[in-house]
Structures are given as structure tokens and as C-alpha cells.
DNA sequence: GTGAAAGCGCTAACAA
DNA sequence: TTGTTAGCGCTTTCAC
């Protein structure tokens, strides 16, 4: 069922059929009606390759995620709501969203190169930005519309949105300092991912603001998953005196941390203050509930989509915003896992 | 940078360039060398739309997932490892995997219709099969290669792989009955998803095998997430006498169930026996650890990919298997959350 | 308001 | 072994 078949069936030219289907003005309303009716009847949908070849656009947006140890296990719970938000915007513009999964054994930059060169997508959302990220230079140079979920030290004029890692670290320190804590540990990502630096920066600045000396011993790098949280707890327990508070950069860490603390008979909120990162369905059901930060991932997705649309030539007029460079705030959700200094340690 | 540019640059015909790049036999080794070298040099990658239009294939496989309440929150942790496995196979064949995300506000069947009609993908993996699933009829009728992750009552000759829900339910009942439990409750999905029926079937059969009467009061439907688990626990607590054991159909339920039990001062493994569904990074770090079932989602993905390849005309010769209809076994992982009947209730 | 025809990039059939 | 050319399905320009 090609446009030719449809035209033959209606006994009009394919040019007219095309124009009718694409809502061009110069077509008889009655003819259009007939065409649309027949298309529906016969289940005709234009072949995307034909359109793409002719128009040079694919009407498809790629959201690139890398399967790392952290995302394979848990990343889905972060990305799925974001996708949902992105898609809700794109659907209005008849753009399709596809998730581009860069495997663990493939270099992200060369994967991206392939996707772009094949003209697979009209625009891209990239995530997990590295401190120095060659993908950004590449996309800028090729003038491929994209938006980054995550900042990077890589320079250039491109839109990005990132979570407020410094703000989270800083709010957490402030809250804990207010409770009287001074030995505040921090669980950071073990990898080179950019957010780790931001998180640490916010932590250090907030410590300084509260006149607390920075102690490198209290920075505990680990993988951003349950296992990592378990190791962070081990590292905490090994210290003497043990820190009275811990801030985590990743929501999944909390699960493993809770486990190890439980094994040691230490209860969050009573014996140690714990502040997690992102509120998740899990964190709400931990016992005791986790003090953490709330964010609407769906809204984040919506904003990402809008930021990208503003850079797409075909849609820029509808989204005539400035280039987005946005640090997305996160809202503290108090739980039972932190509070005043345990009296024994005071 | 099109094939024409590349040919001009090398001063040979585009036909030769095409054949050289596609590894055809009838091309001078020296020429091929030059072509490949130049392509690399100039960063040439064939335009996918051009190829697709000509060949009628897109070299892309779609993995359709629906964003439901359950998958948006937690589905990622299930699907990501599956994707990784699928992709590891496809990469060898230069097939790209894209996740097709059917939004909550779109009908799965019509979404699929669009994807197929646009010729977006060469083959499909569909998931979350419904008891009666129109997508299956549609794909069979259109002769689109596909494999289903999940069984369905919809008839037809198509490959599918599914988790062994009956087996899990039956093993769980057997284990609990062996511990002396007789009032064994079950948390099932509230939706019409096919696996709910299978799970319940296995449960009922296993009860019968052990001479335990089926009590509809002990079937507790809920959403397959933390919230649902919480509600299941509420329902348990409301019964008098309370069931001595509970089997869950979903790993995320365990988190919420643990929370509610903890609030009530009831400890899994001591006061009630809990058997969860799939082992996850989280379940391993729950306290007490959850008795559940292990499955390699990556291997499942690999099998899915192979099953699909066997139905793709271009690859069938390399994967000449029978049509796959596979119930994937799951291996019991004993945890601390179940055990002999509590003496007080014995 | 409609039809005819060019051409997007590519591969495959055929000719040389 | 290489060059030439038709044509995949579609949109768009131009002529009518």
C-alpha cells in the first residue's frame, strides 16, 4: 500500500494525494475529504523512509542512554518517567521518541557518530554527560540539534538541563548542621560522571558556610547502586569516631546502606542521620522513611522536549525561547532518617 | 557527504563504492581498500533512509513497551537488562535496537499500527501481552516478524517467551506447605495482564496438590508496585486469623509490604513467611533478605533476540530453530523472609 | 485545483 | 572487475 496505490484507487494523481494528506492549502476540500477517507479505509500510512529521503527529516527524536552498571540495574526507574514527559510533548508534533541504547561494550562517542551519520533522528537528547564530553563537540560541529540532560565542562552554546546537585548537597549539609552535626560524610559516585564533582562542590561550599572543616576521609566514593550504598556503610562503620551523618548522591544507595546499618544494629534517624538523594517509590517505603529530595521527572522530560524543539528548525518558531540552561531545583522531603545529633555522640 | 560525493572523491562510480562498502565479492581488493579507507577518512556512513527505501528493510528492531503506572515507576529495572541482552545479539548483525514507548494516553494497538505502517522497523518485540491481545492478530495478519515477551490466549503461530509464573507460584506454595503453612495468601496484579491468571492458576493447582482448600479471601489483588505491596499488607492485617504466609507476584510489592509489616511490628521470617517474586538488587538488600526467584534478564534478552532473528527472512538461515515457545524457569533463592510456621500460630 | 516529473541516497540488475 | 541506470515512496516545483 503505497501512495501510488492510493492514488490509483482514487483515480487522481499522487501529487494531489500527497498534498491532501499533508494539509496543503491548494487542494479542493471535497478532494481532500475523499483522500483522507480512502486512506483511513485502506489503512494507508506514509512510508517513513520515503518521506525522510525526500525531506531530509525523520520525525524521530533519539534519547540516548548508556547501559552502565548503574543504569542497567536501576536507571530505568529514572528514565521511564522522563521519557513519558518527553513523549507527551512530542506526540503533539507527531514526533516519535526512540530510546537509543548504547551498549556497555560500545564507545558512546562512536555510537553517536553512527546514529547521526545514518540520519536516523532529527534531534537528540543525550544523558550522563561526562565532565569532558566529546559528544557535545561532535554534535555542535555537525550542527545536530540536541539538548543535554546534565552539565559538562565542555564549552559551547547548547541547551542543557541538569538537576541541582550542588543545591541538594548544600541543603542537606545545612539541615544536618542545623541539627548539630559536624562530622558529615558524603557518598559520591566512583566514576568520572560530572554530577559527582558538582555534588562534592556543593558539599564543600556548604561546609565552609557553616565553619566546618573539610575532611577528605569523609568523602566515600562508591557505585550508585545498592551495593555501593552497602560499601559506604561499611566505610562509615570503619571510622572511629563514626560520622554522625551521611548524605548520598543516589537514591539506590540508601537501600544498601540501610541494610548494612541494620546488620550493625544502627538505626537511621536515631543513631545516625541519613539524607538520600532522589525521592523514589522505594524511598517512601523504607523503614524509617528516608529524608530525600523530590523532583517531577515527568516535568523534567517536558522541559527537555521543549528545549529541544526550540532548537529544531521546523519548530523553533513555536518555541522561540532563549537557549535553555537550567538547573532544576529539588524539594526537600523530610523523612524519619535524620534528625538531631544522637545524645550519646553529642 | 553522500555516496556520490565519496565516489567523486575517489573518481570511481557509485555502484562500485556501494559494492565495496557492502562487502560484495566482485570488487577488486585494492579498490575496496581505497574505498573503505576514504569512507573512514571522510566519516562517510550510508544514509539509512536511502538504504531502507531501496532494500525495504530498516535494520532496526523495535522493542515496544507501554508506560503504565507499573512500568513507569519500576519497569525500567526489568527492561534495561533485557535490552542489554537483546542488543548484544543484534549488534553482531548490525541491527539497531530502539525502544518504542507507547504513552499512557495512546492505544497500544493503534500505536503499533502506526509503527508498522510507517515501515519503521524490520521486526518487533512486544511485551506486556494481554490475555486477549489484538496486537498479535494484527502482526500475524500483516506478516510482521515479531516475538512476544509474555504469553497470551490469542491463538496463532508466533514465537513467545514468558516467565514461569505457574512454576514460581507452585514452588512457593510447595515450599511454604513444607514449612507447615496452610493459610497462604497471594498478591496478584489488579490489571487484566495475562501473567496474573497464570500465577493464580499455579497457586491453585499447587494448593490442590497439597490438599489445601482454595480460599478466595486469600487472593489479594493490587498494583505491582510498592504501594500495591503496602495495600496487600493492609489486607493481610485485616484478616482474622491472619494468613501465615504471603506470595507476591511482583518484586516491588515486597518493599511496600515490608514497610507496612514493620509498622505493625510484624517481622518477615519470624511472624509471617514472605516469598517475593523476582530477585532484584533491592530484594538482596532488604532486611530480612527476601526469599525470591532468580532469573538472568540478560539471557532472556539474548533468547528473545535469537527467537526474533529466526523469524526474520534475512537471518532465518543462521537461526534455523523451531518456533520458540518457551517458559523461562526461575530459580528459588532462599532468603530470611520465610521459614517454619511461627510457633504461636502453630 | 490538479497533473507531470524531478530527485532525495541508495542498491541491484545489467551492460561492458 | 567496473560503469550505467532504474527505481524504492515520497514531496515539491512547475506547468497547465
- Nearest CB among A53, A104, A282 relative to B49 is that of A53
The pLDDT value given to residue A68: 72
Architecture in CATH for domain B60-158+296-329: 3-Layer(aba) Sandwich (3.40)
**pLDDT digits 0-9 by tens, A257-310:** 999 999 999 999 999 999 999 998 888 888 899 999 999 999 999 999 999 999
- Nearest CB among A1, A81, A227 relative to B72 is that of A81
Q: Which nucleotides of C are covered by protein (CB under 7 A)?
A: 1-5, 7-13
CATH of region B165-294: 3.40.50.2300
User: How long is the CA B7 to C1' C11 vector, in angstroms?
Assistant: 14
- In 3D space, the residue among B192, B189, B125 whose CA is nearest the CA of residue B158 turns out to be B125
> Order of strands across the sheet with A245-248?
A219-222, A184-189, A245-248, A273-278, A291-294, A331-333
- Mean pLDDT computed over A7-17: 94
- What is the per-residue DSSP string for A64-79? EEE--HHIIIIIHHHH
Per-residue confidence band for B344, with pLDDT thresholds at 50, 70 and 90: low
User: How long is the CA B14 to C1' D4 vector, in angstroms?
Assistant: 10
Please give the residue that has the higher pLDDT: either B341 or B165.
Answer: B165
What is the three-class DSSP state of A292? strand
Distance CA B239, CA B234 (A): 9
**A314, burial (CB in 10 Å: exposed 0-12, middle 13-18, buried 19+):** middle
The pLDDT value given to residue A345: 46
- Mean pLDDT computed over A305-323: 87
Per-residue confidence band for A343, with pLDDT thresholds at 50, 70 and 90: low
Q: Using the CB atom, is residue A22 less than 7 Å from strand D? A: yes
Q: CA B47, A46, A301, B278: dihedral to nearest 10 degrees?
A: -90
Distance CA A21, CA A46 (A): 9
Query: Considering just the CA atoms, what is the radius of gyration of chain A in Å?
Result: 25
Distance CA A146, CA A138 (A): 11
Would you say residue B346 has pLDDT above 80?
no
> Where exactly are the structural domains of chain A?
3-46, 60-158+296-329, 165-294
**pLDDT digits 0-9 by tens, B61-76:** 999 998 776 666 666 6
- Considering only alpha carbons, which residue of chain B is nearest residue A265? B287
**pLDDT digits 0-9 by tens, A211-227:** 999 999 999 999 988 99
pLDDT above 90: percentage of residues in chain A: 68
Average pLDDT, chain B: 91
Would you say residue A71 has pLDDT above 80?
no
Q: Name the A residues in 172-191 with CB < 8 Å from any B CB.
A: none
pTM for the model: 0.89
Q: Does A87 touch chain B (CB under 8 A)?
A: yes
* Shared fold status for B60-158+296-329 and B165-294: yes
The residue written with cell numbers 490438599 in the block is B211
Q: Using the CB atom, is residue B54 less than 7 Å from strand D? A: yes
Q: B193: how many CB neighbours lie within 10 A of its CB?
A: 20
**pLDDT digits 0-9 by tens, B86-116:** 999 998 898 989 888 887 778 888 889 888 8
Q: How is domain A3-46 classified at the CATH fold level?
A: 434 Repressor (Amino-terminal Domain) (1.10.260)
Please give the residue that has the higher pLDDT: either B98 or A163.
Answer: A163
Q: Does B285 touch chain A (CB under 8 A)?
A: yes
Give the three cell numbers for residue A139: 554534535
Give the three cell numbers for residue A316: 523553533
Distance CA B276, CA B199 (A): 13
The pLDDT value given to residue A346: 39
- Nearest CB among A72, A98, A230 relative to B100 is that of A98
Please give the residue that has the higher pLDDT: either B49 or A76.
Answer: B49
The residue written with cell numbers 562542590 in the block is A201
What is the three-class DSSP state of A107? coil
Q: Using the CB atom, is residue B266 less than 7 Å from strand D? A: no
Distance CA A219, CA B128 (A): 43
**pLDDT digits 0-9 by tens, B140-170:** 998 899 999 999 888 899 999 999 999 999 9
Report the DSSP beta bridge partners of residue B161.
Answer: B149, B326
- Considering only alpha carbons, which residue of chain A is nearest residue B73? A77
Query: Considering just the CA atoms, what is the radius of gyration of chain B in Å?
Result: 25
Q: Are B241 and B87 in contact (CB under 8 A)?
A: no
User: How long is the CA A49 to C1' D16 vector, in angstroms?
Assistant: 31
Q: Which parts of chain B fold into alpha helices (H)?
A: 3-10, 14-21, 29-42, 48-55, 69-70, 76-92, 108-117, 134-142, 165-178, 194-209, 226-238, 251-263, 281-284, 297-309
- Mean pLDDT computed over A29-53: 93
The pLDDT value given to residue B209: 96
Distance CA A278, CA A251 (A): 5
Q: Distance, in angstroms, between A330 CA and closest chain B CA?
A: 18
User: How long is the CA B311 to C1' D1 vector, in angstroms?
Assistant: 36
Q: Distance, in angstroms, between A256 CA and closest chain B CA?
A: 5
Percentages helix, strand, coil for chain A (3-state, rounded to 5) are 45, 20, 35
Q: Does B141 touch chain A (CB under 8 A)?
A: no
Distance CA A148, CA A29 (A): 43
Give the three cell numbers for residue B10: 575517489
The pLDDT value given to residue A181: 97
Amino acid at each position: 500500500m503505497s501512495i501510488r496505490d492510493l492514488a490509483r484507487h482514487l483515480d487522481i494523481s499522487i501529487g494531489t494525494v500527497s498534498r491532501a494528506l499533508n494539509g496543503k492549502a491548494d487542494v479542493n476540500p471535497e478532494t481532500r475529504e475523499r483522500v483522507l477517507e480512502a486512506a483511513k479505509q485502506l489503512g494507508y500510512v506514509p512510508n517513513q523512509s520515503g518521506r525522510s529521503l525526500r525531506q531530509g527529516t525523520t520525525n524521530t527524536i533519539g534519547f540516548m542512554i548508556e547501559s552502565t552498571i548503574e543504569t542497567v540495574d536501576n536507571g530505568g526507574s529514572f528514565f521511564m518517567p522522563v521519557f513519558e514527559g518527553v513523549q507527551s510533548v512530542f506526540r503533539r508534533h507527531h514526533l516519535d521518541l526512540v530510546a537509543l541504547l548504547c551498549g556497555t561494550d560500545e564507545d558512546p562517542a562512536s555510537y553517536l557518530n553512527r546514529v547521526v551519520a545514518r540520519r536516523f533522528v532529527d534531534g537528540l537528547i543525550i544523558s550522563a554527560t561526562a565532565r569532558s564530553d566529546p559528544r557535545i563537540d561532535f554534535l555542535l560541529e555537525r550542527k545536530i540539534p540536541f539538548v543535554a540532560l546534565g552539565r559538562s565542562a565542555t564549552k559551547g552554546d547548547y541547551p542543557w538541563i541538569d538537576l541541582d546537585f550542588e543545591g541538594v548537597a548544600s541543603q542537606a549539609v545545612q539541615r544536618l548542621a542545623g541539627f548539630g552535626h559536624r562530622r558529615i560524610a558524603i557518598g559520591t559516585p566512583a566514576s568520572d560522571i560530572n554530577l559527582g564533582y558538582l555534588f562534592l562542590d556543593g558539599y564543600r561550599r556548604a561546609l565552609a558556610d557553616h565553619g566546618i572543616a573539610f575532611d577528605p576521609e569523609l568523602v566515600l566514593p562508591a557505585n550508585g547502586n545498592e551495593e555501593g550504598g552497602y560499601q559506604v556503610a561499611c566505610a562509615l562503620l570503619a571510622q572511629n569516631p563514626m560520622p554522625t551523618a551521611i548524605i548520598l548522591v543516589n537514591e539506590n544507595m540508601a537501600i544498601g546502606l540501610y541494610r548494612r546499618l541494620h546488620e550493625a544494629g544502627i538505626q537511621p534517624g536515631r543513631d545516625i542521620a541519613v539524607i538520600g538523594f532522589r525521592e523514589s517509590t522505594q524511598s517512601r517505603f523504607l523503614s524509617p522513611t528516608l529524608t530525600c529530595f523530590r523532583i517531577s521527572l515527568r516535568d523534567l522530560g517536558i522541559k527537555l522536549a521543549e528545549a529541544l524543539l526550540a532548537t529544531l528548525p521546523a519548530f523553533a518558531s513555536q518555541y522561540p525561547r532563549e537557549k535553555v540552561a537550567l538547573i532544576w531545583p529539588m524539594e526537600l522531603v523530610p523523612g524519619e532518617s535524620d534528625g538531631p545529633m544522637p545524645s550519646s555522640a553529642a
